Amino acid sequence: MKKRTKLSLRTKIYLTLTGLLALTGIIYASNPTPFSSGGPLYAPGDWYPTGVAASPDVVLVTPYCSDDIDRIDCNGNASLFATIPGFGSCREKYMTFAPFQSAAAGFTPRDVFVTQGALVFKIHNGTTTPFAALPGCFASDHNGITFDHFGTYGFNLIVTCQEGNVFRIDGGGNATHIAGLFPGGGGILEGPAVVPPLFGPHGGEIWVADEQNHAIHTIGLPPTYTVTLNVIHHQFAEGVYVVPNPPCAACTGNGNWGFFLAEQQSLKLLWAYPLTDFTVPPPGLGGKVILTSEVGVDGGDTSVVTFNGLNYVQTSFGPRVIGVNEGSSMVDCDVPTPTPTPTPSATFTPTATFTPTATFTPTATATFTPTATATFTPTATATFTPTATATFTPTATATFTPTATATFTPTPTPTPTPTPPGDVSKITPTGTTCNDFKNGTAETLASLSYSVKNGQINQVAPGVFFYWLKVTVPAGNNVFTVTETITTGNFTRIFSLANGGNNVWNNSCNSTSNTITQAANGTVTVSFNAPVAGTYFISLKYDSGSVKGAAAPAPTTTVHYDITTTGVPGSTSGIDLIKN
């Protein structure tokens, strides 16, 4: 049964779906459809879409392990739109279009802005230039971006940094730090949005998703920018998206899509939601808010937030797209479509200089039969030449030339992106099978939660997790060493292997004889004899409860673990241990 949550500013009240029907009588349902796999630029499964920006005529995606920005046509085909300077590794990069309102703040509507660490790049007519640097933004990844469409922040660009700092940027690239949500650490900010001014008590404010604390926080209006934490609870909150009022579509007549979502690690597809998901039944969802969850475990979901005059009401907007949901975008109705430029007609009228053909007629005629032609030529030539040339030539030429050049030229340029870590290793929840991992359908487990009692870790959930690894080996004896590293420096207890569930599998997912041991420092040694050369899968089952009884992490409360296999590129996968 789907769960719906009704929340006041500081109070959370959990209700079943039956109870909610009595309140509103409305059930929201979505119809996500696979839209693009990144072809023909990428081989199937090699795309890893991450950031999304959509306008009525352009849909853009940033791949996880590439510095290219891909444009997706209405048939789902990818071509190169632009490239940003190389960052050197796989990173989450997010982007947004400048709406028409941003011109009031000095922006050029239709320009695209992209985050890359503490930098923001601008793409104008296909050319990428540095736009702003964010002093005090410490995160190299996960930084979110949006525009203020309502004027409460001067129609500025809004950027959130993963560690909790928030900035507004004007059209000149001047960045102002306006809020810091986690002075002591302990949060992961991602997708922001400025909500409509009349949307409840936090209307007109910046709403931000906090993946680590499963919450939506708000940054108040200038000049105080008052921060309100935990306005809404949302598991593994990934992004906040305002539904335009009224909503509009991309690919009109060829899908009529209203919303796009990137699933990065499972099927690795861009998904599209039909416009009718947001307009039917009337009056639709215009002016409401969509929340997404990065993962689907422990109640992670896509949901709709409405305001009923007293409280914010949260309703499931399922079915949720399976896998790791990263960036999304409503089709931004405020991004102007380019004005068709008939200028080519005027400029191209030189083709009317093709009238030299008319110069040919008199010459030939005059020389050939002076008497007969003298009467005939003026009549036929004078009337005929201008009509045919002036009307016909510009129309055909002007329409065809720009279309072919602008769309098609970039396609051959890109090359397939490097294989991201998700193909090689993954941390997953219990219940994951070898076939799930092999086929790319295994869920990612991003974090564990713990409680503290008397200064010590008391409980940890979920109770176990798996580290999966894909290796390609020769026939015979093979040995792999797997290490745990705490990167946050605030804790020392490593996870121990659980009893059972540790195994080596062949490419048909049949168990292979193996020996798996763990040293006191947490290092795991996996030995097995491969009957034939090929691909094998290793599964290690860790006991989350093995950290119980340890002194609580300090001074910050979140611990990040990296699990790596020596000598296997892309084998590092991470998990956070987060205080409830």
Tens-place pLDDT, residues 356-380: 444 434 434 333 334 333 333 333 3
pLDDT band at 501, cuts 50/70/90?
Answer: confident
CA–CA separation, 170 and 106 (whole Å): 7
- What topology does CATH give the domain 3-330? Neuraminidase (2.120.10)
| CA quadruple 502, 507, 509, 515: dihedral, nearest 10 | -30
Residue whose tokens read 């219990």: 430
User: What percentage of residues in the chain have a pLDDT greater than 70?
Assistant: 81
Q: What pLDDT was estimated at residue 29?
A: 84
pLDDT band at 27 (very low <50, low <70, confident <90, very high): low
> What pLDDT, on a 0 to 100 scale, did the predictor assign at position 355?
43
pLDDT at 419 over 60: no
pLDDT (average), residues 532-552: 94
**88 pLDDT band (50/70/90 cuts)?**
low
Query: How high is the mean pLDDT of the chain?
Result: 83
Instruction: Give the residue from 52, 50, 93 showing the smallest Cα distance to 72.
Output: 52
Q: Is the pLDDT of residue 404 over 80?
A: no
For the ranges 62-76, 125-139, 328-342, 419-433, the lowest mean pLDDT is seen at 419-433
Amino acid at 85: P
Q: Which of 228, 184, 185, 188 is nearest to 207 (CA)?
A: 228
| Residue with the larger pLDDT of the pair 417 and 215 | 215
The answer to whether residue 12 scores a pLDDT higher than 50 is no
Q: What is the gyration radius of the CA atoms in the chain, in angstroms?
A: 29
Predicted local distance difference test score (pLDDT) of residue 343: 53
Asked if 29 contacts 334 with a C-beta cutoff of 8 angstroms, the reply is no
Buried b / exposed e along 413-436 (16+ C-beta atoms within 10 A): ebeebbebbbebbbbbbeebebeb
Q: Quick one: average pLDDT of 200-210?
A: 97
Residue 383 pLDDT exceeds 60: no
Cα(47)–Cα(323) distance, rounded to whole angstroms? 14
Question: Which residue would you say has higher pLDDT here, 86 or 11?
Answer: 86
What residue has token string 């564990």?
448
Closest CA to 147 of 50, 242, 215: 242
pLDDT band (50, 70, 90) for residue 78: very high
Q: Is the pLDDT of residue 403 over 80?
A: no
What's the whole-number mean pLDDT along residues 42-63?
94
Please give the Cα distance from 207 to 227 (Å, whole number).
10
* Residue 346 in this model has a pLDDT that exceeds 60: no
Decide if pLDDT at 580 tops 90.
no
Mean pLDDT to the nearest integer, 336-342:
74
Range name among 320-334, 401-415, 430-444, 500-514 with the lowest pLDDT average: 401-415
Q: Determine how many CB atoms are found less than 10 A away from the CB of residue 2.
A: 17
The pLDDT value given to residue 90: 83
Measured between alpha carbons, how far is residue 469 from residues 287, 423, 464, 514, 541 in Å? 44, 9, 17, 15, 12
The pLDDT value given to residue 265: 86
Report the largest interatomic distance among the alpha carbons of the chain, rounded to a whole angstrom: 118
Secondary structure (3-state) at 521 = coil
Report yes or no: 271 and 281 within 8 Å, Cβ to Cβ.
no
Q: Quick check: 24 pLDDT over 50? A: no
Query: What per-residue confidence (pLDDT) applies to 500?
Result: 79
Question: Percent of the chain beyond pLDDT 90?
Answer: 67
Range from 15-24, 69-78, 162-171, 527-536 carrying the lowest mean pLDDT: 15-24
- 219-237 residue pLDDT tens: 999 999 999 999 999 999 9
270, 36 Cβ separation under 8 angstroms: yes
Amino acid 208: pLDDT: 98
- pLDDT tens-digit series, residues 156-200: 999 999 999 999 999 999 999 999 998 877 889 999 999 999 999
Average pLDDT (406-410) is 36
pLDDT > 70? residue 138: yes
Q: Does domain 421-579 have CATH number 2.40.50?
A: no
d(CA 267, CA 270): 9
Which of 264 and 9 is assigned the larger pLDDT?
Answer: 264
For residues 420, 425, 426, 430, the Cα torsion angle rounded to the nearest 10 degrees is 160
Q: How confident is the model at residue 402 (pLDDT cuts 50, 70, 90)?
A: very low
Phi-psi region of 183 (alpha: psi -120 to 50; beta: other; left: phi over 0): alpha
| Beta-carbon contacts of residue 412 (< 8 Å; ≥ 6 apart) | none
Q: pLDDT value at position 175?
A: 97
